Structure 1
């Protein structure tokens, strides 16, 4: 079982590496007919790398991370001792910002609703493939995370950009109206999600990325997803079941990649088995690896691994507690409760 070592958190981060938009516009053509011919052989999410870069530059942000992790530990301990109760189910208001160059990138209202439905199923533990969780991990499955999502607005804007580069991502080009993007809608009280065209990188196509809870309320806070991997209808296989959003929202709510972004790394969750690295494709259970001389069965079906959409279908109980600590009245994203 992994322990949370707060004294090492910051050190590990340092050493590791109102616009001219039209709301609720309806597409006339179907997503299936306009699907993008962009494929990715493996999931790639640079959220942690981008986070580390930001933390290296900002001591205040590093302190916020340490405070958030300390609060998460207190919350978990008090919950276990019965000293506090979870604050109940949270319904997060969602604003979807669509930046499109082609009709295929201008995802329809129906596809957005489809993606919200996937999030609600995955985070409530009612996803149709939840029955695939191995018996070994049944005891630590999350069940209902008690986080729900409600679409409150869709903002659309055409762009001349045919792809979004590393410079665009570093400069948050898609998140600023002044650079042709769409400004976030009150990020303290709304979860902003940007849909853009393809995001090529030296490591392959980026499916999506997210900011973490220390960015709560900042102007660039939220999730970015490439249109080919958003939702289900018309999305590119094998990332066409809406799980890219599930994975990125996990980061937004405080979860790290399950392998801790290091060989036998620490994701700061006690009930997720330590693993050597990320997994890809559709592994066959059981899959074993060895860390610290101990052989363990890998929880590759966790939403925070890198497997294909069809191979991921669970959060752990520890991940649930971590996310609840983030949206609790004492957490960094408590503003999402206020409308």
Structure 2
């Protein structure tokens, strides 16, 4: 899988597609759904450098990324999350930096950890979700743990754990110690890193996985029939392989139409991404209403609710 480079999620996926309306979450269509505000804690894993460095990110940069995440999920006009797609919508899901620690103390939602105080860092990311929780891990029933961890630029941009749910495609449940999202420090928020992953869309993509979305091409493997597996969302097209680039290297959907490059669950360039479909939104909201360690986030006391 490439987004001009490899992106891993909790599973390593190379996928194709089919769709079955019987597999869609039964979510009623209403004019204005309940707005879900979810608490996040950003664990900045650093090497002792001053705050504001390339690894020990400034508070302003972290707030900017969370604002961008909300712009994407809320489809805010005048931002990089805006789109005019008739099959998209406001997800009525937003994120707020935690205001209280697990001990009940006030916090800005940022937890800085010098990894040299715990154990030496390594560049191998195979067991990240078993290692990162040993550095920092707040109660996943109350917080979305986001680990910002430095790996070489343009190698691994991000990774996320999937929810435990009865939705098709996710029957395996959580297979790691840690539950949350990891984003490479060099691809967190707006960055000057070379390449096409520098506008903060990695966190949006990985948060989609955290809330139950698969890549558009689903769970298939090379050589399998185009219609054998899919992402189990009714309003996304059957897609036979990964989608990268905004204009070049665009595969056809299984029906012969051009596969969408603007969907957040592709591996396309950040500048293309601006769409969650209504079906994807319904799937994420179903997870928030039914899945362990997701449904409790809606009522967590880690934030004040307005």
* TM-score strictly above 0.5: yes
Quick check: 1:49 aligned with 2:11?
A: yes
Partners of 1:258 and 1:41 lie apart in 2 by: 14
Report the CA distance between 1:281 and its aligned residue. Answer: 2.2
Helix, strand or coil: the match of 1:273? coil
| Structure-2 residue corresponding to 1:139 | 86
| Structure-1 residue corresponding to 2:283 | 322
Partners of 1:302 and 1:238 lie apart in 2 by: 15
Aligned residues: CA RMSD = 3.2
Partners of 2:233 and 2:152 lie apart in 1 by: 30
Report the CA distance between 1:219 and its aligned residue. Answer: 5.2
| Structure-2 residue corresponding to 1:289 | 252
Quick check: 1:187 aligned with 2:140?
A: yes
Helix, strand or coil: the match of 2:216? coil
Instruction: Indicate conservation of the 8 Å contact 1:273/1:297, yes or no.
Output: no
Matches within 5 A, 1:245-260: 245-260=203-218
Report the CA distance between 1:104 and its aligned residue. Answer: 1.6
Q: Which runs of 5 or more structure 1 residues have no equivalent in the other structure?
A: 1-39, 53-69
Report the CA distance between 1:139 and its aligned residue. Answer: 2.4
Partners of 2:3 and 2:286 lie apart in 1 by: 34
Report the CA distance between 1:240 and its aligned residue. Answer: 1.1
223 and 71 in structure 1: CA distance in 2 versus 1, 3 angstrom threshold: farther
Q: Which runs of 5 or more structure 2 residues have no equivalent in the other structure?
A: 15-20, 99-108, 165-172, 302-306
Partners of 2:22 and 2:286 lie apart in 1 by: 7
| Structure-1 residue corresponding to 2:124 | 165
Quick check: 1:121 aligned with 2:71?
A: yes
Partners of 1:316 and 1:173 lie apart in 2 by: 34
Instruction: Indicate conservation of the 8 Å contact 1:98/1:194, yes or no.
Output: yes
Matches within 5 A, 1:6-155: 42-49=4-11, 73-76=24-27, 79-80=28-29, 88-101=34-47, 102=49, 103-126=53-76, 128-129=79-80, 138-141=85-88, 143-152=89-98, 153-155=109-111
Matches within 5 A, 1:192-211: 192-198=145-151, 205-211=155-161
Partners of 2:257 and 2:13 lie apart in 1 by: 29
230 and 223 in structure 1: CA distance in 2 versus 1, 3 angstrom threshold: same
* Structure number with higher relative contact order (C-alpha < 8 Å, ≥ 6 residues apart): 2
318 and 92 in structure 1: CA distance in 2 versus 1, 3 angstrom threshold: same
Count of matched residue positions in the alignment of Structure 1 and Structure 2:
261
* Bigger proportion of residues as helix: 1
Report the CA distance between 1:237 and its aligned residue. Answer: 3.8
